[in-house]
Amino acid sequence: MILKTPFITFEGTDGAGKSTQIALLKEWLVSHGISVVLTREPGGCETAEAIRELVLSNKSDLGSRGELLLYLAARAENVRQVILPALEQGSWVISDRYADSTFAYQGYGRGLELVELMNLNAIATGGIMPMKTILLDIDVAVGKERVMKGRSELDRLEQSSLDFFERVRHGFLKLADTDSNRFVVVHADKSVDEIQQKIRNALTPYLHGHS
């Protein structure tokens, strides 16, 4: 599906600072008179948020394929209820995670077949993919340390090993290398302002019509 309104996604391993950068980006876009809808994965709507609770709960004993299918179900509803309606109304949509997280986490991290994941994702989303993906790249040990600060408990996915997150990080970078026109890789060890400026520079061409 060809989108006329920018759909932007943020990706990266935990602790990369996606939430902070998304909030700053929204503030900047709104200052330019742009309507912005934020969403996240898994989540974004009531159904998907319920799935989020299940898939991230430490009480959930999910296998790789069960986990995958729950993420895809949540994404299908997020697209149907939030993303597509917002884009059709002319709002920019910014999502904290999307399809590339499935490819990186369930593909490179869990070892599921990447082509199969891409085919299933196309069914779940109706082929909707972002115009630009901001990949905040960070050393996984540093990211995990950030996540653990001020947290009494980590969720099911956050408790995964550093080796798992290394595979995920490698997966993200591989995806970015394969689709360099869509991805913008930003090193997340810079200052908040430096990171935000790189993101704004990448998205400036989209402010008054995208190329």
- How many CB atoms are closer than 10 A to CB 154? 15
The predicted-structure confidence for 56-68, as pLDDT tens digits, reads as follows 999 989 999 999 9
Whole-angstrom distance between the N-terminal and C-terminal Cα of the chain? 16
Name the residue among 67, 71, 57, 63 with its Cα closest to residue 153.
Answer: 57
Cis peptide, bond prior to residue 42, ω within 30 of zero: yes
The long-range contacts involving 20-28, CB below 8 angstroms and separated by at least 24 positions, are 20/192, 21/134, 21/136, 21/192, 21/195, 21/196, 21/199, 22/94, 22/96, 24/192, 24/196, 25/94, 25/196, 25/199, 25/200, 25/203, 26/94, 28/196, 28/200
Name the percent of the chain lying above pLDDT 90: 86
pTM: 0.94
The residue-averaged pLDDT of 156-164 equals 91
Chain centroid to CA 105: how far? 11
The predicted-structure confidence for 34-87, as pLDDT tens digits, reads as follows 999 999 999 999 999 999 999 999 998 999 999 999 999 999 999 999 999 999
**Contact at 8 Å (CB) between 9 and 93?**
no
- Name the band, by pLDDT with cuts 50, 70 and 90, for residue 209: low
In this structure, whether the domain defined by 7-188 belongs to CATH 3.40.50.300 is answered with yes
Domain boundaries, given as residue ranges, for the chain: 7-188
- How many CB atoms are closer than 10 A to CB 173? 16
